[in-house]
Structure 1
């Protein structure tokens, strides 16, 4: 578990399954992810998150507001096996609509980068999203990731017939030395 100024980043609880499933069933939340997710798929995702933490020592955190305990979504690190350049670790986030526009994704993802480069000892973290997902592209820039256009790719798991606008993914990346330099420049610890 970690805390930031406004957030608690923690493991998923049984009580999170319902708000998590509601979030994953929201067409607006899922519009860049090929549409809503069923409750069964949402629950299976929670199980995979637990396995990831157990096997790798990193994964996705449930996010809650420190002041109210409200479930907001998730952020964290996830294995990425779809990049043509090879396996990587992705920093990612998904927030329920009421949590949009408050800087929660940026705040939480900044903490996920700290986990990646200090506790886990990763050399690099990536993030990628369809070109139409301007909100996530903004988060990537705010947390210090840099565009890596040479690694952009057509996502092999996107249904190109149903979602042609979601096929092309833009890649951002950050290596540990650049992260350390950014932290030193900003005075964050």
Structure 2
């Protein structure tokens, strides 16, 4: 894999959106944050990918239980190609599916973050929040904690009016995370995933939505996060601070 460093430049804030048409303009604008963003929570670091992430990522992608509600386990070459694509998006745009590691041990446990929906559907264009974690990381609230940080970033920094998520109807674990995020499901919006053939057991999907209520957080980019860990201050913040969003408040 190729790992590129970004040139530092101050990002321009995207326009404030209130409609789907505005969302489409924001997505087409390819808002870029450089260097790539790093997010921290009480227990997690959401960061750009490292070469050392490739091996544990391949293991989780080969796990039948992790991949139960996806088309199937990935062979090593396909997993590596997926990691390469994910990493390249973060390096070029500053955000995406972040690698997730535990603050306590530095262990890579999977990914979570935001992505432009890559297919046509009645609800697109859209940005989705998603996650994929190794089985030992299940049952600890990490998916909710990481996704909550990603959602806040999407509302407060990317200025998105709405974030979606979707999965197979039977995936109760992921649906529970969506509901803990405050997302809502309207059965009338359930859809057939266009990248799966008619009759496929996983084709029918449920859609969850979450609308922005108010910007809430301060997010520093990866370099500034490193500065804080070394007791330094930097003025190059990507910052929006205001009232707390009800749907995302607290763990």
Tell whether the structures are fold-level matches, with TM greater than 0.5. Answer: yes
Name the structure with the higher strand share: 1
Once the two structures are superposed, the pairs formed by residues 18-29 of structure 1 within 5 Å of their partners are 18-29=55-66
Once the two structures are superposed, the pairs formed by residues 160-175 of structure 1 within 5 Å of their partners are 160-161=198-199, 163-164=200-201, 166-175=202-211
Shift of 1:56: 3.9
Assess, with a 3 A threshold, how the Cα gap between structure 1 residues 99 and 42 changes in structure 2: closer, same or farther: same
Helix, strand or coil for the counterpart of 1:75? strand
TM-score (norm 2): 0.69
Assess, with a 3 A threshold, how the Cα gap between structure 1 residues 186 and 137 changes in structure 2: closer, same or farther: closer
| 1:92-148 superposed Cα distances (whole Å, 9 cap, x missing partner) | 000000001110000000000011001111111100000010000000000111113
Bigger radius of gyration:
2
Check the 8 A contact 2:181/2:247 in 1, yes or no.
Answer: no
Aligned length: 186
Check the 8 A contact 2:39/2:46 in 1, yes or no.
Answer: yes
Counterpart position of 1:125: 163
Report the aligned-residue RMSD: 2.0
Helix, strand or coil for the counterpart of 1:140? helix
Once the two structures are superposed, the pairs formed by residues 92-107 of structure 1 within 5 Å of their partners are 92-107=130-145
- C-alpha distance in 1, partners of 2:95/2:132? 17
2:238 is equivalent to residue 176 of structure 1: no
Check the 8 A contact 2:193/2:205 in 1, yes or no.
Answer: yes
- C-alpha distance in 1, partners of 2:159/2:104? 31
- C-alpha distance in 2, partners of 1:2/1:157? 31
Assess, with a 3 A threshold, how the Cα gap between structure 1 residues 16 and 149 changes in structure 2: closer, same or farther: same
- C-alpha distance in 2, partners of 1:144/1:160? 31
Name the structure with the higher helix share: 1
Counterpart position of 1:141: 179
- C-alpha distance in 2, partners of 1:121/1:94? 24
2:124 is equivalent to residue 86 of structure 1: yes
Assess, with a 3 A threshold, how the Cα gap between structure 1 residues 179 and 132 changes in structure 2: closer, same or farther: farther
- 127-136 or 55-64, larger mean C-alpha shift: 55-64
